[in-house]
Structure 1
């Protein structure tokens, strides 16, 4: 028997599967655990679009030894007693969603990088009888380096299945009306409890300018989400700003830069700032450490007086109630 394809075990009754995909996380906040995770993540040519051989020399010789230590320190500042916030949050969301899915729908999650891997989870789902699969990357706005990279992992597994699942995917939900309304309500609820700052900064994960110029629709998706969200919130143009965080390397990235604005806004008279990250649905390193720890410190160090980070939707009931109809819509005809 050829080893090119996975052997197919006998399966129980045909089932429908829903697979949620998130980025991934190291298994521990240590350099030893962070380096293999970063190596897998940064070796993906969807993420870093440079010649493979040249990039691997830079990655293994320079970046991993230095960034591994720095990232481990960052992870240690947000690590919870029961593990990574991203893993815990994604698991909680999946569990909550599974409870309200129609009978016969198996709901699981996997990580693009790290564990639980897409390959292992799909194998488990196949053994449970899943022959119809809906895949949802947990990124509202599509980017080749996030949603595209996540879906690539699924297609790689499909290439090795002798009897392939039928697969559908939800590539983005950046303009979904229920998502926009729920996020707006989430922000308003936060303001009711904690008060409202002078200015709202909407910070999205950035991408290199070269990827944007090559045709990636991510910036347009982010701009659409911002336009719809601020309209729902009733904000004036002078009360908010869209920006992009997480710059890496020396090549130009799309802007304006969140990091730059956190320094500039106090100098422009903004003393109290609220910040939300609509490109993330689960709190993670980029929101908890980059924004709520380092971003807060930068803003306050340059003259800001009050900094409020508005958490992600995570596994809130209202958010789960948004995902359920979105998924049911894409399951139409399979049930």
Structure 2
């Protein structure tokens, strides 16, 4: 039971000692918010334009001077890019639920975390999810939890490795919401969790399980992470280092030798130099070197999305095959696997320390 729940709070509505004209106050609870990147509402031009406009206007993502960047974004990129991105989203869209796979998977993750939390804490914890870009927005979810009585919130960006264009901007958006609230809940943010034993075990199990289904063992496992400009690394962003450590820890968890897993980076955007090697080029080089069967995993993504379902399984796959590759195996993200959910719950519980018993 939470410390606050033990107060004189007979349930939803007015407290026993308040005056008749006092606004209703919900019973105190603790909130857990799973925060993912985001998704367009649909695959049409205007839905993609709104989504990309919000995403690419974020100075954590593109940090060029606004006076220089916004004319290029509004007059050039957003007149063309929505058509290209819309086509990519259409190829992976969940037509049954009319939503992106990222939204479907994040909802499934939230439902499973909710079940675990309810078993542990009953009604003292409210679990929800939000998107940094698109819907459900961070603003709407945090306000909804506050209205439900969540005086304390654990904000959980679903990025195993810390990055300023991912973890930091998710946290920024949460704090922007707090700035507009009359009654701010206390908030804790979850740090990078790539070294968490449960996460690493789930990641290694996902590799082992896929390998057991294959006729032959791939000669190389390629760990593909979303890229960032190289200057982010030089300016102190630890993302690149976290990715390198993730690969090493995964290899050690699997008990493999050095050289059996390569670390590469995908999704380059813009003219400047990004961290490398680039996934699309590296897989082609592997094929030319005689690696005819490779597997690709994406340890930076907590759920499958357009970068994995479309970019890896289409563009990067095609690059490998065109260079002479024969078998390309994609290992899905951890998504709502039970061992992944167990890890997320354990990480959240660590941040709940002192707030719940």
What range is the shorter-chain TM-score in? over 0.9
How far has the Cα of 1:178 moved from its partner?
1.3
Counterpart for residue 189 of structure 2: 169
Aligned equivalents of 1:31, 1:268: Cα separation in 2: 41
How far has the Cα of 1:117 moved from its partner?
0.2
- Are the equivalent residues in 1 in contact too, given 2:155–2:189 (CA < 8 A)? yes
Counterpart for residue 185 of structure 1: 205
Aligned pairs, number: 328
Secondary structure class of the residue paired with 2:153: strand
Match of 1:252 among 259, 273, 276: 273
Counterpart for residue 241 of structure 2: 220
- Are the equivalent residues in 2 in contact too, given 1:21–1:135 (CA < 8 A)? yes
1:124 aligns with 2:144: yes
TM-score (norm 2): 0.90
Match of 1:36 among 43, 50, 68: 50
Aligned equivalents of 2:108, 2:177: Cα separation in 1: 25
How far has the Cα of 1:10 moved from its partner?
3.3
Residues 67-115 of structure 1, C-alpha deviation per residue, up to 9 Å, x if partnerless? 1110001111111111200000000000011001022110000000000
Matches within 5 A, 1:97-112: 97-101=113-117, 102-103=121-122, 104-112=124-132
Aligned equivalents of 2:144, 2:222: Cα separation in 1: 41
Counterpart for residue 18 of structure 1: 32
How far has the Cα of 1:11 moved from its partner?
2.6
- Are the equivalent residues in 1 in contact too, given 2:225–2:300 (CA < 8 A)? yes
- Are the equivalent residues in 2 in contact too, given 1:9–1:127 (CA < 8 A)? no
TM-score (norm 1): 0.96
1:93 aligns with 2:93: no
- Are the equivalent residues in 1 in contact too, given 2:221–2:297 (CA < 8 A)? yes
Match of 2:135 among 90, 96, 115: 115
Whichever of the two has the greater Rg, that structure is 2
1:313 aligns with 2:334: yes
How far has the Cα of 1:12 moved from its partner?
0.8
Residues 231-265 of structure 1, C-alpha deviation per residue, up to 9 Å, x if partnerless? 11122223221001000011000011111102211
Secondary structure class of the residue paired with 1:191: helix
Gaps in structure 1 of 5+ consecutive residues: 1-7
